């Protein structure tokens, strides 16, 4: 009998999704959300859920699960593994969501400016997964601000000013894109709520 998520999913996820989920868990099993004890997999599952609920197909959902794999777990070697295991489309989306391939990462401002420039020209697949990622991150920031106040910003390399600049720029890009997604409005609303708290 097929696993419950395959039986219940409107997108009819296949065994490929299960393989991607297992691969994702292996890659990120020791990782935690920045400044917390929350297993990183919680973020990846949330991003995948956002994409699935937004009507994304299996390639998009797999890319959502793996969107941080290259950046955080092995660079270009990991990207090549994803390409072999899950195909060009998934690998291209993951690549499009990646802002660094090396450890240590380049300076924060440089990375973010380059990523924003890249996102302005990205296709709808990359935009949808990136938007899901940023939506979950912004919701986490909003929750943490409500619980911990300005202490929250100490976890971010860009601090309060840099992080707010980055999320305003992201909001402008998603608004200007032709992406048809309820997540755009949700992201804008979340950023505005963060602005109110700031």
> Catalytic site residues?
71-72
Q: Classify 77 as helix, strand or coil.
A: helix
DSSP state for residue 105 in the 8-state scheme = P
Contacts of 83 by beta carbon, 8 Å cutoff, 6+ apart: 90, 91
| Nearest alpha carbon to residue 72 among 133, 126, 127 | 133
R_g of the chain computed on alpha carbons: 16
How far apart, in whole angstroms, are the C-alpha atoms of residue 184 and residue 187? 5
**What's the start-to-end Cα distance of the chain, in Å?**
50
């Amino acid at each position: 009998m097929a696993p419950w998520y395959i039986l219940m999913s409107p997108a009819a996820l296949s065994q490929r999704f299960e393989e991607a989920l297992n691969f994702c868990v292996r890659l990120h099993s020791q990782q935690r959300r920045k400044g917390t004890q929350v297993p990183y997999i919680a973020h990846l599952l949330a991003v995948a859920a956002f994409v699935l609920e937004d009507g994304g197909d299996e390639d998009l959902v797999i890319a959502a699960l793996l969107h941080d794999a290259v950046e955080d777990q092995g660079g270009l070697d990991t990207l090549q593994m994803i390409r072999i295991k899950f195909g060009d489309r998934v690998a291209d989306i993951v690549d499009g969501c990646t802002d660094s391939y090396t450890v240590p990462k380049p300076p924060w401002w440089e990375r973010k400016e380059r990523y924003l420039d890249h996102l302005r020209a990205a296709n709808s697949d990359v935009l949808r997964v990136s938007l899901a990622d940023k939506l979950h991150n912004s919701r986490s920031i909003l929750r943490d601000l409500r619980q911990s106040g300005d202490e929250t910003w100490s976890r971010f390399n860009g601090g309060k000013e840099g992080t707010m600049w980055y999320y305003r720029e992201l909001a402008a890009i998603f608004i200007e894109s032709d992406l048809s997604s309820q997540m755009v409005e949700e992201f804008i609303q979340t950023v505005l709520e963060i602005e109110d708290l700031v």
